[in-house]
Structure 1
């Protein structure tokens, strides 16, 4: 079985839209009423809205190229904003609707916390140790929460800059290999974003969703979403829920996935998956030949016949 995975914020890079097919850039520009080619400059990517739109467009564009001459994957999954291109590829959410929703999503998140907040990755400590540190530091004045479980010894926290700096310092003193601020300007995947999530959920009432035509794995629940109501809930509220990416990849592997392709940009999810995939292949679109990826998709499909 095959799976496409889509990265979240932090994977973006300047110029990431330049090599995409002009048709999808024109399509996105028409929907949004602006030139999306202006969204991927280093300056523009300081905006959460621009980052999220770039990740959506890049993921859908690369998927379209892959699927021109290869069979569709059995599953899709996305980390945070990556859930939106995953839903588009699964046939559950129209691309135009996704663009409008992601534009609003980014604006809501940025407006809620324009400065002084963000996310920090901690590598080399067990989850229980990080949770203990969070409990010691968290308060109304210094809010900080668990945000992502990426691997057994890699988690991400979210909150105020002050609180994250305290947790990061204590994590290093307890042996963390790394504690670094991510290039994310909002405190995603924690209760601080519950209000923006509710507003986004209201916008979904005007959007028509379909049952996913492919297996859609929720990055927060680490299991398939089987109804349009559950999909609506997953997409609207994933900004304020902990991401269990470790569990999502493990769930896919246990369901028989043996080929994971990470859509642009970057290869962070590929590195995380290698810790789970005892057999099979994990590979990133970036840096790989298109015909090689398409051949892998055809080969994995033929093995099931």
Structure 2
């Protein structure tokens, strides 16, 4: 049986996410490396006020994910496949050996800055559960306007989706979805309209910035956000990392793919447990674990058990 590492995206951030990382020498070295690349102390980026910045959120998510993955590797826990939700895809690319952590940090910093510059205020995202994809799409189509655009952003499970766009459009769509029987329809803690056509200019900037960066073919399967297929070519992964910011994340298909490929333990790197809950909902026969909740030792023990089955 195989083990998949999952890297969370925006919405999973929490205050003190770097400060709350386990006390491990590999984690300390990772934080120091990131601070050196950014020429600032990463430990100072994760307080509540500074996490109002999209740039700081994305940097902190990458650092916590890579630090956790490296600590697990140091303890003998290695993944058979990796996937990352949204900005988490950069973490999965690093662990798959596709790009260097230092390059990922620099690009993710700019990615966050470009997203904020494109839509500094009045835009964001919402999450819906309890409706079908078809119903969500029907409501979006009826509620979007030129002045209040709203789009389907992410397909997280067969009944959980995110929408993205102007706050007026998002709020209008969420209200209709609540009235149509959604179990949950509320704004996310994301202040930019990710994974929709509004991010087209950011995707173009990412494409240009990624071109000179050395990429390698992955050493283990890497699932693309945009097409939910295993990408084996370095250039295809580079294109996925650039373009996916302007396209929906097909996360449910990613997890379904890895389940079909034999993954029976899904380990969510820090912070949070959003992706763990989605695995539990979609594949109750699989095991899933959030390092934030269970710790490095539990992840190691459960991996050893899975390997023996």
2:33 — aligned with what?
27
Decide which moves more: 39-48 or 274-283.
274-283
RMSD of aligned residue pairs (Cα, Å): 1.1
Which of 117, 138, 147 is the equivalent residue of 2:123?
A: 117
Which of 210, 214, 223 is the equivalent residue of 1:204?
A: 210
Q: Distance in 2 between matches of 1:183 and 1:9?
A: 8
- Find out whether 1:293 has 2:296 as its counterpart: no
Q: Distance in 2 between matches of 1:289 and 1:195?
A: 39
Q: What is the Cα deviation at residue 122 of structure 1?
A: 1.1
1:106 — aligned with what?
112
Residues 3-152 of structure 1 correspond to what in structure 2 (within 5 A)?
3-20=4-21, 21-152=27-158
Q: Distance in 1 between matches of 2:238 and 2:168?
A: 34
Q: Is the 8 A contact 2:280 2:286 kept in 1?
A: no
Which of 244, 254, 259 is the equivalent residue of 1:248?
A: 254
Instruction: Give me the TM-score of the superposition, normalised by structure 1.
Output: 0.97
Q: What is the Cα deviation at residue 283 of structure 1?
A: 0.9
Q: Distance in 1 between matches of 2:160 and 2:284?
A: 19
Going from structure 1 to structure 2, the CA distance change for 1:142 and 1:28 (only over 3 Å counts) comes to: same
Q: Distance in 2 between matches of 1:248 and 1:152?
A: 12
Decide which moves more: 58-67 or 274-283.
274-283
Which of 172, 182, 185 is the equivalent residue of 1:179?
A: 185
Q: What is the Cα deviation at residue 54 of structure 1?
A: 0.2
1:221 — aligned with what?
227
Q: Deviations for 1:62-105, whole angstroms, at most 9, x for unmatched residues?
A: 00111112242111000000001111111111000000000010
Instruction: Give me the TM-score of the superposition, normalised by structure 2.
Output: 0.95
Q: Distance in 1 between matches of 2:291 and 2:99?
A: 22
Q: Is the 8 A contact 2:4 2:266 kept in 1?
A: yes
Q: Is the 8 A contact 2:72 2:300 kept in 1?
A: yes
1:234 — aligned with what?
240
1:282 — aligned with what?
288
Secondary structure of the 1:147 match is strand
Would you identify which runs of 4 or more consecutive aligned residues in structure 1 move more than 3 Å? Answer: none
Q: Distance in 2 between matches of 1:291 and 1:192?
A: 42
Which of 156, 169, 181 is the equivalent residue of 2:162?
A: 156
Q: What is the Cα deviation at residue 19 of structure 1?
A: 3.5
Structure 2: segments with no counterpart, 5+ residues? 22-26
Q: Is the 8 A contact 2:273 2:293 kept in 1?
A: no
